[in-house]
Amino acid sequence: MAGTEGKNHLQPRKPQARLRQESGFFCAQYHSAAMFEQAYDQYTTQDQLVWKVLFDRQTALLHKRAAAAFGAGLARLDFQRNAIPRFEAVNEQLQRLTSWELVAVPAAVDDAAFFAALAERKFPAVTQLRPMEHFDFVQTPDLFHDVFGHAPLLTDPAFADFLHFLGIVGRQHRHDAPALVRLRRLYGFTVQFGLVQEDGKPRIYGAGLVSSAGEIHHCVHDETARPAFELATVLATPYSEERFQEQYFVLNSWEQLTASVAEMAALLADSWQLKPA
């Protein structure tokens, strides 16, 4: 995920540090994945080192903080600290477990293309890894965020189905700008920055959290709000573009996540029930 991760985890982000979620979560121009591949042999020794350092740091930070489903997914995929994952190998596991696959893209895609991909159980994943000189500051998603952050939960059938159904709803409303704003918020406060209650404690599962040291430190800080997940509140809560999130919503259970999609679809079908975004 985009953002700085300085020593003071309460420092504001630079304005360009985060994708402009409220104006378009995937704001870069869409590139067709049909003619694009991972080109694994083009990764440099430096790229492999960046993956290794990030992998070691994040797995250490996530110990006793990550949701069980994320940890189980990470184990299923068996990522190696010394080697950037090959999409082909990851997809073999995803296809076998949940019929999902990573689709290589050179840059983040627009909303319509993104939700359309999710509806087909395809997750657009950037192949470029952040350079070492920008280790803690990336302006757009990179391979570590997309693969380490998202792929583990794609091995979980319930979560995979939730994301698939969310994609279907997004595809149905791809020309409805207000609907897309709300869909981005639901996606953002769950898939990107979500927490779930486990063993009496909020556990991290959102990709923007699991892939970011700074976001983790901020999320677990005593002064950070972690309210219970309520769809109406989530849909009314915009993202901060320059700082870490002011609050992180906590699911009572994974079933609540699945139910949110059906409720979201019903609200969009009866749009008069929705308050202005």
Query: In tens digits, what is the pLDDT along the chain, a chain of 277 residues?
Result: 333 333 233 333 332 233 333 333 333 334 444 558 999 999 999 999 999 999 999 999 999 999 999 999 999 999 999 999 999 999 999 999 999 999 999 988 898 999 999 999 999 999 999 998 887 767 678 999 999 999 999 999 999 999 999 999 999 999 999 999 999 999 999 999 999 999 999 999 999 999 999 999 999 999 999 999 999 999 999 876 567 899 999 999 999 999 999 999 999 987 645 555 5
Integer-rounded Cα radius of gyration of the chain: 17
Paired with 198 in beta bridges are 201
Give the predicted TM-score (pTM) of the model.
Answer: 0.86
At 274 the pLDDT is 53
Q: Where are the alpha helices (DSSP H) in the chain?
A: 45-62, 68-77, 87-98, 111-119, 143, 157-172, 177-187, 207-210, 213-220, 231-235, 254-269
At 250 the pLDDT is 99
**Superfamily, domain 3-8+17-270:** Aromatic amino acid hydroxylase (1.10.800.10)
Residue 173 counted as an annotated binding residue: no
At 134 the pLDDT is 80
Residue 150 counted as an annotated binding residue: yes
Strand arrangement of the beta sheet that strand 250-251 belongs to: 201-204, 195-198, 250-251
